[in-house]
């Protein structure tokens, strides 16, 4: 199922499981009376849930005895927090000049087609999120694509499609 509530972007629906709620509560309890604990709590909670939906932020606010607007302010300020579900595999395609002219302009279209999503979207099965970046500092390997922590350079389209398929 897909909702369309993030600025027109395709956003998959992911419910927080009872096990995840239990872990969220444990994280909150472990930091309850410590000052400066909001960011570490949010980081750990995001690791558990994969993202920080509104109901989770409200639980954190209540648990740490903070106003929800304070929590929302932090989660929207820092780019390492995500408020929508992201894929198990984050695919970043370099669109810097070297990579663009070496084929990543065409590669982007192929990737969108294969994953069935646009840039900054996540597939319904949460397998992939697709992003573009400006120069990864590896221009000698252009065209470059990074999947999670792995850099794949000198890619041709067929090889790239094969590589993508290796990430479950």
Give contact residues for ligand FES (rule: CB under 6 A). 94, 96-99, 135-139, 142, 144
Name the residue nearer to ligand FES (CB basis): 50 or 96. 96
The minimum distance between CB 80 and ligand FES, in angstroms, equals 22
The minimum distance between CB 24 and ligand FES, in angstroms, equals 38
Closest residue by beta carbon to ligand FES? 96
CA 146/CA 92 separation, integer angstroms: 5
The minimum distance between CB 113 and ligand FES, in angstroms, equals 21
Phi, psi of 86 (to 5 degrees): -120, 160
The minimum distance between CB 120 and ligand FES, in angstroms, equals 18
The SS3 assignment for 118 reads coil
Name the residue nearer to ligand FES (CB basis): 61 or 155. 155
Name the residue nearer to ligand FES (CB basis): 90 or 138. 138
The minimum distance between CB 141 and ligand FES, in angstroms, equals 7
The residue length of the chain stands at 168
Long-range contact pairs involving 134-138 (C-beta distance under 8 Å, separation at least 24): 134/94, 134/95, 134/96, 135/94, 135/96, 135/97, 135/98, 135/99, 136/92, 136/94, 136/96, 136/99, 138/94
Name the residue nearer to ligand FES (CB basis): 71 or 155. 155
Name the residue nearer to ligand FES (CB basis): 87 or 143. 143
Q: How far is CA 45 from the centre of its chain?
A: 14
Distances (CA, A) of 113 to 17, 84, 106: 31, 22, 11
């Amino acid at each position: 199922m897909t909702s369309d509530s993030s600025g027109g972007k395709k956003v998959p629906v992911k419910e927080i499981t009872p096990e995840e709620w239990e872990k969220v509560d444990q994280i909150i309890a472990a930091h309850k009376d410590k000052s400066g604990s909001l960011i570490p709590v949010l980081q750990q909670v995001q690791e558990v849930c994969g993202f920080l939906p509104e109901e989770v932020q409200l639980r954190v606010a209540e648990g740490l005895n903070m106003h929800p607007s304070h929590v929302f302010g932090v989660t929207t300020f820092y780019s390492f927090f995500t408020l929508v579900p992201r894929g198990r595999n984050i695919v970043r395609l370099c669109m810097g000049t070297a990579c663009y002219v070496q084929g990543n302009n065409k590669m982007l279209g192929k990737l969108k087609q294969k994953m069935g999503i646009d840039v900054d979207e996540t597939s319904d099965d949460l397998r992939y999120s697709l992003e573009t970046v400006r120069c990864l500092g590896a221009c000698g390997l252009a065209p470059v694509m990074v999947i999670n922590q792995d850099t794949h350079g000198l890619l041709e389209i067929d090889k790239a499609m094969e590589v993508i398929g290796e990430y479950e």
